[in-house]
Amino acid sequence: MSKSTTTVDHSSQDVLEPEARPVPEGRVARLQHGETWRSIFRHPHLDTPRGRALQSFSNVFLHIYPVKVPSRVLKLRYSWRLGYIASVLFAVLLVTGIYLMFFYTPSVTAAYGDMQQLRTGVGFGQLIRNVHRWSAHLMVLVVVLHLVRVFYAGAYKRPRQFNWVLGVSLLLITLGFSFTGYLLPWDQLSYWAVTVGTNLISYVPVLGKQLSDLLIGGEQIGQATLLRFYSLHVAVLPVALGLLLMVHIWRVRKDGFAVKRGEVGSFAEGSTDRLVVTSSGAEPATEDGQRVRLLGVVDRESVTAEERLTDDTVFTWPHMLVRHVVVGLGTVATVLALGVLFAAPLRGIANPNETPEPAKAPWYFVGLQELLSRFDPLVAGIFVPTALVLVLVFLPYIDRNSATEARNRKVAITIFSIVLAAVIVLTVIGALFRGPGWQFITPWDHNYLEL
Ligand code: HEM
């Protein structure tokens, strides 16, 4: 027998758990136990505690997840999977966005024509554009809902204060993404929505003009603006969001999931990967109460198989993963269905000399526009949003109350709920109840909201 054959035989045998190896039966099983398969997947498929741990350890993608998670994390109520859905939407936006980049030129003479061309001259062009647009709208909505969920759960408290700060940055980047993308079709809707939005910047005391020039690159929106927005949209913001998101998700894991763990104490601190895997599963701590870190999967003879301490954790693979696959596919199916049913709008080509009535900002800024119509621009356009963002960023350091239960956080919850209700009411009025001349209208008579 040649040397290489000996190697094959050895690798297809699990020396650590020989009895757990199923006898290969059928073509698929034989393929899975063959050398080629094993050269791609570094371990055999074992449905044992150790095998499940290995699934996470030895796969670069699954490695993001902890090996085990508290079983309560599996419940939909824990997070409503909103952060995860936002991540999936970001992935959809990247894929569809890259496709669109092949057919788009960031030039005022070509951009609008490229958008028209998507309808007729590009395979699945219109559908991909629709899906991209719907995913973008949904992402803004889902990220805001995620923030609201994190607030009401009190999940921004120690030790997650900084992850909240990262989260607010992610929200701002998401808004930046949507806003810069809005201009790219170069039609009347995008041109005037961005004009209304960027006008706000000129109200900033002292630096207003400089900031506005920096963003717009001139007196009014034109070629320089389109190129700047495009560069921000396809290069700067994706890199910024991607990097921050990695840290954000890493912190979720390292800070321990904000989920009540009964005997381990409420919102247990510390990482869930501080476990030791024994042949019978994973232990959260040693008997003397010390935390231990899992550094690898070891031969079961080298650890003592002991009585399990209270352990409410389950293996990520397959329990968590299966849920993520279902929610991920559901999210993709939703944006696909929206893309098939509702086409992204494309009005006439951008015309700086013809202001449409009403000229509305994108829906997530329309609450601000409504506020501006009622108060002094400096107050409504600058002070209120700046104060809102600053309070949001520093919230975990302002709210020093360590309680997470709603009954012990009445003041914070009341203030947050009032502000949230005000934002919703202003947005709904601005989006649906305002018509030409910013006059009050009833949406069932005429709808001036375009998404
Ligand atoms: C691009 C936007 C964002 C993405 C993709 C994202 C992603 C995630 C994911 C995947 C989780 C794990 C739990 C879950 O699925 O919900 C999470 C948790 C968390 N997020 Fe976000 N997030 C974003 C924005 C935000 C914002 C705006 C905030 C708040 C200001 C925030 C604060 C937090 C905190 C504190 C946790 C930990 C909560 C826990 O452990 O239960 N995130 N995020």
Is the CB of 249 within 6 Å of ligand 1? yes
Q: Ligand 1 mean position to 128 CA, how many Å?
A: 27
From atom 22 of ligand 1, which residue's Cα is the shortest distance away?
83
Q: Is residue 304 exposed (0-12), middle (13-18) or buried (19+ Cβ within 10 Å)?
A: exposed
Q: What is the rounded average pLDDT of the residues 56-76?
A: 85
From atom 41 of ligand 1, which residue's Cα is the shortest distance away?
258
Q: Ligand 1 mean position to 163 CA, how many Å?
A: 8
Q: Which residues contact 184 (CB under 8 A, 6 or more apart)?
A: 104, 106, 111, 190, 226, 229, 230, 233
- List the alpha helices (DSSP H) in 255-377: 321-341, 366-374, 377
Residues 414-440: tens digit of each pLDDT: 999 999 999 999 999 999 999 999 999
Q: Which residue has the higher pLDDT, 245 or 65?
A: 245
Q: Tell me the pairing of strands 276-278 and 281-283.
A: antiparallel
**What pLDDT, on a 0 to 100 scale, did the predictor assign at position 260?**
65
* Angle between helical axes of 208-216 and 188-199 (0-180°, round to 10): 160
Q: Ligand 1 mean position to 248 CA, how many Å?
A: 7
Among 74, 146, 244, residue to substitute to test ligand 1 (most atoms within 8 Å of Cβ):
146
Check: CB of residue 196 under 8 Å from CB of residue 147: no
pLDDT band per the 50, 70, 90 thresholds, residue 304 = very low
**What pLDDT, on a 0 to 100 scale, did the predictor assign at position 293?**
53
Check: CB of residue 90 under 8 Å from CB of residue 245: yes
pLDDT band per the 50, 70, 90 thresholds, residue 348 = very high
pTM of the model: 0.86
pLDDT band per the 50, 70, 90 thresholds, residue 312 = confident
**What pLDDT, on a 0 to 100 scale, did the predictor assign at position 265?**
36
Looking at residue 98, its amino acid is: I
Check: CB of residue 187 under 8 Å from CB of residue 112: yes
Fold (topology level) of 72-259+319-438: Cytochrome Bc1 Complex; Chain C (1.20.810)
Looking at residue 358, its amino acid is: P
Q: Ligand 1 mean position to 384 CA, how many Å?
A: 25
Rg (C-alpha) for the chain, rounded Å, is: 27
From atom 12 of ligand 1, which residue's Cα is the shortest distance away?
83
d(CA 221, CA 198) in angstroms, rounded, equals 9
**pLDDT over 90, % of the chain:** 56
d(CA 166, CA 184) in angstroms, rounded, equals 27
Task: For 26-67, give the DSSP string.
Answer: HHHHHHHTSHHHHHHSSS----SHHHHHHHHHT-TTGGGS-S
Please name which of 49, 61, 12 lies closest in space to residue 34, comparing C-alpha atoms.
12
Q: Ligand 1 mean position to 249 CA, how many Å?
A: 7
Which of these ranges, 28-37, 298-307, 381-390, 432-441, has the smallest mean pLDDT? 298-307
d(CA 281, CA 234) in angstroms, rounded, equals 45
Residue 350, Cβ neighbours under 10 Å: how many? 23
Tokens of 417: 């709920």
Q: Ligand 1 mean position to 168 CA, how many Å?
A: 9
Which of these ranges, 40-49, 77-86, 153-162, 363-372, has the smallest mean pLDDT? 40-49
Beta bridge partners of 277: 282
Check: CB of residue 420 under 8 Å from CB of residue 148: yes
Which of these ranges, 157-161, 167-171, 300-304, has the smallest mean pLDDT? 300-304
Check: CB of residue 345 under 8 Å from CB of residue 410: no
Check: CB of residue 361 under 8 Å from CB of residue 177: no
Out of 57-71, 105-119, 264-278, 289-303, the most confident range is 105-119
Is the CB of 267 within 6 Å of ligand 1? no
Task: Assess whether pLDDT exceeds 50 at residue 132.
Answer: yes
Please name which of 151, 196, 129, 115 lies closest in space to residue 363, comparing C-alpha atoms.
196
Q: What is the rounded average pLDDT of the residues 136-161?
A: 96
Domain ranges of the chain: 1-46, 72-259+319-438
Task: Assess whether pLDDT exceeds 90 at residue 287.
Answer: no
Task: Assess whether pLDDT exceeds 70 at residue 130.
Answer: yes
d(CA 410, CA 330) in angstroms, rounded, equals 36
